[in-house]
Amino acid sequence: MTALRYGYGTNGFANHRLGDALAVIAGLGYTGVALTLDHDHLDPFAAGLARRVAEVADRLRDLGLGVVVETGARYLLDPWRKHAPTLLHDDRKLRLEFLHRAVAVGADLGAEAVSFWSGVRPDGVDDRTAWSRLVDGCADVTAAATAAGVPLGFEPEPGMEVADLDGWRRLRADLGEPAMFGLTLDIGHCRCLEPLPVPQCVAAVAPHLVNVQIDDMRRGVHEHLEFGTGEIDFPPVLRALIDGGYRGLVAVELPRHSHAAPTVARESLAFLRAAEKEAQ
């Protein structure tokens, strides 16, 4: 029995049907799943959404899997532009609709959080305009999430308008520090961007965490690596999550490893369990 609850991201099972991915993830011993809404994995814009969401909710319950909803699908909204439109674009209406749908799906699934990010500032959009659009968009989504009772996890992402924890703190302050506006923390991003050692980075934001993504990474390199191939010392990181009282999912985030998903997922869980045992 582990103190932390480990999940696996469906974006690392892109070559599997969603039902098959959930079965494999549960069969390996994970207790949760980070579900990226995408073309083949519960597309929120396809017909019959209510029925499909109900089926997935039943499947999650039968498998004993907790769930967080992720919104980082690359080409779901535009087949030509990766991750576009974002909350920063002139044509951000579709992104807002997507996030509202994600909140509704999350509510129907009993999700522990819905995760999203700012996006990259588009060419021709000045910093002041971009920030104003971001605050307005986040306020809109937060109102919907508050009404639905679904916590939001905003993720600082390297290269985006909100790239680090200081940016998240500024955004949260500008929103008035709403209760449902929490933090999604990618452990690898702490190694990639933050000045503090990773365990201290985790400890500094522990009260605000609603979603944790975990992977290995090297300093200054934004690339999701398999465990043991980067520079992160995981036992102190897991200890920091435990000591910080985090009770949400710690979901493996390896979106470029779908070609070997069952093997990588099995090895990842074994690594994390061993690291947690060492931490205790």
Mean pLDDT throughout 109-131?
97
Greatest alpha-carbon span in the chain: 52
Would you state the pLDDT for residue 222? Answer: 65
pLDDT for 15: 96
Give residue 221's pLDDT. 63
For residue range 64-106, what is the model confidence (pLDDT) as tens digits?
999 999 999 999 999 999 999 999 999 999 999 999 999 999 9
Q: CB atoms < 10 A from the CB of 27, how many? A: 12
Q: What angle, 0 to 180 degrees and rounded to 10, lies between the N-to-C axes of helices 49-63 and 93-109? A: 40
Q: Residue 1's closest CA among 27, 33, 31, 26?
A: 31
User: CATH class for domain 5-279?
Assistant: alpha beta
Residue with the larger pLDDT of the pair 191 and 25: 25
Residues 6+ apart with CB under 8 A from 143: none
Domain assignments of the chain as residue spans, ordered by start: 5-279
CB count in 10 Å sphere of residue 64: 10
DSSP 10-40: GGG-TTS-HHHHHHHHHHTT--EEEEE--SS
At 125, the pLDDT band (50, 70, 90 cuts) reads very high
10-59 residue pLDDT tens? 999 999 999 999 999 999 999 999 999 999 999 999 999 999 999 999 99
Beta strands in 45-199, from DSSP E residues, in sequence order: 66-70, 114-116, 152-154, 181-186
pLDDT of residue 94: 98
What pTM was estimated for this model as a whole? 0.96
State the Cα–Cα distance between residues 69 and 115, nearest whole angstrom: 6
